[in-house]
Amino acid sequence: MNKIELLAPAGNLEKAKIAILYGADAVYIGGKQFSLRSRASNFDIKEIKELVDFANIHNSHVHVTVNMLPHENDLEGLKEYLLELDKAGVHAIIVASPAIMKIAKDLHVHYEVHVSTQHSSTNSSAVRFWKEQGMDRVVLGRECELDQIRSICEKQILPIEVFIHGGMCISYSGRCVLSNHLTLRDANRGGCAQSCRWKYHLMDGDSEISNPDNLFSMSSKDLQAVDYIEDFIKMGVVSLKIEGRMKSAYYLATVVSSYRHLIDYIYEHGSASKEIIEQTKKEIAKAENRPTGPGFYQGIPDHNVQLYQEHDETVTQEYVAFVLDYDQNTHVATIQVKNHFVPNGYFEIFGPNICSTKIYIGNVYDTDHEMVEVCNKPMQIVTTVIDENVEPMAMIRKIR
């Protein structure tokens, strides 16, 4: 049995490499053309080729989103772009438009064509339809329940990919027009304004019926499927997808490494204990800035999975430093400051080959060899002696 794929998002080259180093079997990225998430730092062909070469060295794959729903004037240059992706050596493209799917297949490209979740495929008949069209994988809509996914997988029609973590759409996947209506920014062409997460005054005529101090919102809690990873493995799902091409490198490293360790543990031991499950959730929570829930996996979400009122979306400041280099002989670590921290205390480190470990950071020195009493300059390069297990590309955070 092939091991299930862990698929991570990446908004730029740095994040993509971090995701791969921290355990992603594949990353999905957006190109400069024909991709949603227009605000992400999307990749040009040269960067895509560099990432493919990097991924090949680490036995990973690169998937490129070609998932916008194009209007007539969006199609110019499409064939040339699809052939450039083939030449770059990408493993798959993720597509929403049937026209783009057909064009890619007619070009006889080497990469796979995956049906995007934007198509809201939620049953085996839809999966069978995509097989008849020559597609290679279907990313199910996020509205499927566990039993429905199990039933689809049992039929073994096409490889199935499901989401396990990240933002949820308050509408059906790929069917929201709220952003278009309110801002003229097309959610299905890369411009979603996330209008569902705004705060709204509820009015009855000219009278406000909402609390001005606690305005109405209608977004969903983010998805967190730690409890169901073992189920997906046993069902025969081929790929577990994390959402978040706009997220930070620290978020990706934390979430990817957490799911990586859980998946590996399940394969090694056959199942995961409650202690391992809870430990994974606690690890992921160190990077979360929104409440999480099970999405549709337990059935139609009730009010406990929605965010109707005030909720905190503050970006975590726990991530304080990135390890650039480490001398195994002198134990001197060269680190880059990311957030405010005070030396001479205990912190936590995790990395591509390091599980969360407690470390002590003593005196810190800048590039002029002057002692730094408070590290409060983001991107500043400093050095310190760390006796515990350290490796380049590791991340240091505060202990809660």
Let me know: does 364 contact 336? Beta carbons within 8 Å.
no
C-alpha of 300 from chain center: 23
What length does the chain have?
400
In the prediction, which pLDDT does 290 show? 85
Q: Which residue in 34, 103, 102 sits closest to 66, CA to CA? A: 34
Q: Which residue has the tokens 């049953």?
A: 123
Q: Which residue in 221, 183, 218 sits closest to 202, CA to CA? A: 218
In the prediction, which pLDDT does 211 show? 83
**Is 54 buried (19+), middle (13-18) or exposed (0-12) by CB count in 10 A?**
middle
Q: Which residue in 325, 335, 324, 385 sits closest to 360, CA to CA? A: 385
**CA dist., res. 252 & res. 256, Å (int):** 6
Let me know: does 61 contact 26? Beta carbons within 8 Å.
yes
**How much is the pTM?**
0.92
Let me know: does 284 contact 254? Beta carbons within 8 Å.
yes
Alpha-carbon separation of residue 221 from 45, 75, 258 (angstroms): 35, 35, 20
> What's the average pLDDT block by block, 10 residues per block, for the chain (400 residues)?
92 96 97 64 89 98 90 87 97 95 97 94 97 98 96 98 92 80 76 81 89 82 96 98 92 97 97 97 92 94 80 69 96 97 96 94 97 96 94 94
* Opening angle at CA 145, ends 143 and 149, nearest 5: 100
> Strand ranges (DSSP E) for 67-209?
92-95, 112-115, 137-139, 160-166, 203-204, 207-208
Kindly state the DSSP code that residue 330 receives in the 8-state scheme: T
Let me know: does 284 contact 258? Beta carbons within 8 Å.
yes
The full 3-state SS of 13-64, as one line of letters, equals HHHHHHHHHCCCCEEEEEECCCCCCCCCCCECHHHHHHHHHHHHHCCCEEEE
